[in-house]
Amino acid sequence: MNDKEARAILFSSIEGGHVFWSREIKSLGPCAVVERVRSGGYDIVKYEKTISKIRNASPDFIFNEINRTQSFFLTPEDEMWPQTLNDLASPPIALIVKGSVAALQIKSLAIVGTRNPTNYGVRVAGDFAAGFVDREWAIVSGGAYGIDAAAHKGALVAEGVTIAVVAAGIDVHYPAGHARLFEEIAETGAMVCEVMPGTRAIPARFLTRNRLIAALSQATLVVEAAFRSGSLRTARDAAELMRPVMAIPGPITSPTSEGCHRLIGERAAEVVTSVVDAVEFVSAFK
């Protein structure tokens, strides 16, 4: 068994972002972790489900399932692995990538925000995406309705590269209304996930997905977000990685801007009002 096969077994058996297993894999290596599981080296009661999955997993079956979706199984041992992911406390065991693996090497900006944006938010997200694409950046977002979609579309209209990091399997179009958008993204950019094909999205996977959006990107921009929002989690993930975080101000009466104003008020994000502002801030960030 080689590292790629071991990672395939672990990838199919362990939920993304699991702190304990991430530490074990980092300290022992994937092959040693699989062997230790098979030899009874972990608490059978505490890790019963995971141990059962690892013992029954077949690398050949896993690779066939991934190949069926015309995707790549990317691991930290691969030359094209995005090294910025290694900055995470719980880096992904591997990624499934559909489209251009090389897109993950392009300098990128994460644009995130609410699923229920105003027309103002949609316009701003698209304009910032296009502005950064014109400067040869890629745009990273989560493939959801609202600000995510506006950012992806803004990048595509500007004939640039965009990356969607999704919380479901690479073959599960979630949301279903974005099936065509996902196809367009994969033509020049990439679809990325850290779950097996066929896996459905659940709330917890959106939160673990957000850390990947932050880590893949050199900076994060929050366009519109409610006071309590998953987008704020992405911003905080980026801040923990010492990456620049920016926020777009909105009307003080707008609920969709409360999250941005919260970040600005807490000094957790820099106010930006133009693409030039954002570029200058990111360039000056140390």
Distance (Å, whole) CA 257 – CA 114: 9
For residue 59, the enclosing domain spans: 3-70
In a shared domain, residues 216 and 273: yes
pLDDT digits (tens, 9 = 90+) for 12-67: 999 999 999 999 999 999 999 999 999 999 998 899 999 999 999 999 999 999 99
In a shared domain, residues 39 and 163: no
In a shared domain, residues 133 and 274: yes
In a shared domain, residues 108 and 62: no
**In a domain? residue 96:** no
pLDDT number for residue 162 = 98
In a shared domain, residues 106 and 161: yes
Distance (Å, whole) CA 232 – CA 98: 27
In a shared domain, residues 153 and 277: yes
Q: What does pLDDT average to over the chain?
A: 95
In a shared domain, residues 158 and 277: yes
Name which of 60, 39, 47, 61 is nearest 15 in CA terms. Answer: 47
Tally of structural domains, the chain: 2
pLDDT digits (tens, 9 = 90+) for 184-203: 999 999 999 999 999 999 98
pLDDT of 240 above 90 = yes
pLDDT of 286 above 70 = no
pLDDT number for residue 227 = 86
pLDDT of 230 above 90 = no
Confidence of residue 140 (pLDDT cuts 50, 70, 90): very high
**In a domain? residue 88:** no
**In a domain? residue 89:** no
Q: Is 9 exposed, middle or buried (0-12, 13-18, 19+ CB in 10 A)?
A: buried
Q: Are 201 and 144 in contact (CB under 8 A)?
A: no
Q: Kindly report the CATH number assigned to the domain that includes residue 179.
A: 3.40.50.450
pLDDT digits (tens, 9 = 90+) for 150-178: 999 999 999 999 999 999 999 999 999 99
**In a domain? residue 276:** yes
In a shared domain, residues 193 and 51: no
In a shared domain, residues 48 and 132: no
In a shared domain, residues 106 and 62: no
CA distances from 272 to 116, 232, 277 (A): 21, 16, 6
Confidence of residue 285 (pLDDT cuts 50, 70, 90): confident
pLDDT of 239 above 70 = yes
pLDDT digits (tens, 9 = 90+) for 67-124: 999 999 999 999 999 999 999 999 999 999 999 999 999 999 999 999 999 999 999 9
Give the mean model confidence (pLDDT) for residues 212-234. Answer: 93
**In a domain? residue 82:** no
